[in-house]
Amino acid sequence: MKKKQQAGGHDRRPGFWVYGILIAVLFGSAFPIWWSFLIGSQDAAAINQNGVNWIPGGNFLANAAKVIDTVPFWTALMNSIIVSTSVALSVVVFSTLAGYAFAKLKFRGREGLLIFVIATMAVPTQLGIVPLFIVMSRLGWTGSLWAVIAPAMVTAFGVFWMTQYLRDALPDELIEAVRMDGASMIGSFWHVGLPAARPAAAMLALFTFIATWTNFFWPFIVLDPGNPTLPVALQQLQAAHYVDYSLVLSGVVLSIIPLVLVFIFLGKQLVAGIMQGAVKG
């Protein structure tokens, strides 16, 4: 892996102009986030005038308090945590099991079924939204978090990702050895498959968590206004305070703090995950 990183096109240290361009790129990716704090910390009077006030105002906490008053912020935060955590856990469990089977177990139809799984990634399932909604209301699940969690409990991407990883990471001999010792199939998964899958499973959990946390379309349709996730609460905030961007953007800041914290601690892993996925996929 280390060797590969050296195999890029350019070995010499680049000149300052390359760093200059990259600094501009970084500015582009950080500026809008900084901007939302800048506006979110002022008040309506300060932002609705010509000219930009580049110094953050002292109004952020007051704005945030107002946001929490206007929309069910704490409920939304809890819901986002519950939904994202349960979806991430469930995707990891089911995808690891399926990935283990596809990568390491022999069964009839294995290749065809795996191709089917991969092909489903190209199916725009979001377009089945109307019947999905009909089903959820028949079940009486509309408005409940179950309606958001259940459809996302295992993904084709997750299965594919774990299959790819386990194929190389887990030697067949290891499975044979525990099988000879009398372990059942699930026992050998538990003792050998799961430990080997850990790094990829952690990565999958992280990406699933982020995707679920930022998801809007389906929660917006199926959840009640009183019981939203964070992106749905942001939509309510916009509906309530469109003219006052200082409130709206302080709400935006509140809503992105959790994932920015995740990014600060695990951003390195995210980068590695995307790059590994790209080479294998």
Partner 1 sequence: MTAAIDVDARSLRRIARNHRLNRWDVRFSPYLYISPFFILFALVGLFPLLYTAWVSVHDWNLIGGQGDFVGIENYVTVLSQPYFWTSLRNTFSIFLFSSVPQVLIAMGIAAFLDYNLRAKTLWRMGVLLPYVVAPVAVALIFSNLFGDRFGLINEILGGIGIDAIRWHVDVIPSHLAIATMVNFRWTGYTTLIFLAAMQAIPRDYYEAAIIDGANRMRTFWSITVPLLRPVIIFVIITSTIGGLQIFDEPRMFDQAGQGGANRQWQTLTLYIYELGWGQRNFGRASAVAWLLFLVIIVIAILNFVITRRIAGSTERRIRTKGKR
Residue 55 has phi, psi (to 5 degrees) of -100, 125
Q: Which of residues 54-93 bind partner 1 (CB under 8 A)?
A: none
Q: Binding to partner 1 (CB under 8 A): which residues in 139-158?
A: 150-151, 153-156
Distance in angstroms (rounded) separating the CA atoms of residues 235 and 222: 14
Least distance CB 61 / partner 1 (angstroms): 19
Binding letters toward partner 1, positions 5-34, x by CB under 8 A: xxxxxxxxxx---xx-xx--xx-xxx-xx-
C-alpha torsion sign, points 103, 109, 115, 121: negative
Reduced DSSP (H G I as helix, E B as strand, rest coil) percent helix, strand, coil of the chain, to 5: 75, 0, 25
Classify burial at 22, counting beta carbons within 10 Å of its beta carbon; exposed 0-12, middle 13-18, buried 19 or more: exposed
CB of 279 to partner 1, least distance (A): 5
CB of 111 to partner 1, least distance (A): 13
- In the region spanning residues 95 to 134, those forming contacts with partner 1, defined by CB under 8 A, are 95, 97-98, 100-102, 105-107, 110, 113, 117, 120, 122-134
* 65/139 with CB nearer partner 1: 139
174 scored as a contact of partner 1 (CB under 8 A): no
* 11/172 with CB nearer partner 1: 11
Of 251-270, which residues contact partner 1 (CB under 8 A)? 252, 255-256, 259-260, 262-263, 267-268, 270
Q: Identity (one letter) of the amino acid at 142?
A: T
**Alpha carbon of 230 to those of 60, 118, 213, 223: distances in Å?**
19, 31, 8, 12
For residue 97, what are the CA distances in angstroms to 66, 108, 122, 124?
46, 17, 22, 25
- Measured distance CA(222)–CA(225) in Å, rounded: 10
* 48 is a contact residue toward partner 1 (CB under 8 A): yes
Pick from 45, 55, 180, 278: which binds partner 1 (CB under 8 A)?
Answer: 278
Stretch binding partner 1 (CB under 8 A), from 65-73, 165-173, 197-205, 272-280: 272-280
- Pick the closer one to partner 1 by CB: 39 or 88: 39
What residues numbered 201-230 form the site for partner 1, per CB under 8 A? 210, 213-214, 216-217, 220-221, 230
192 touching partner 1, by CB under 8 A: no
* H-helix or E-strand spanning residue 82: helix 73-104
Nearest Cα to Cα of residue 42 among 27, 56, 30, 25: 56
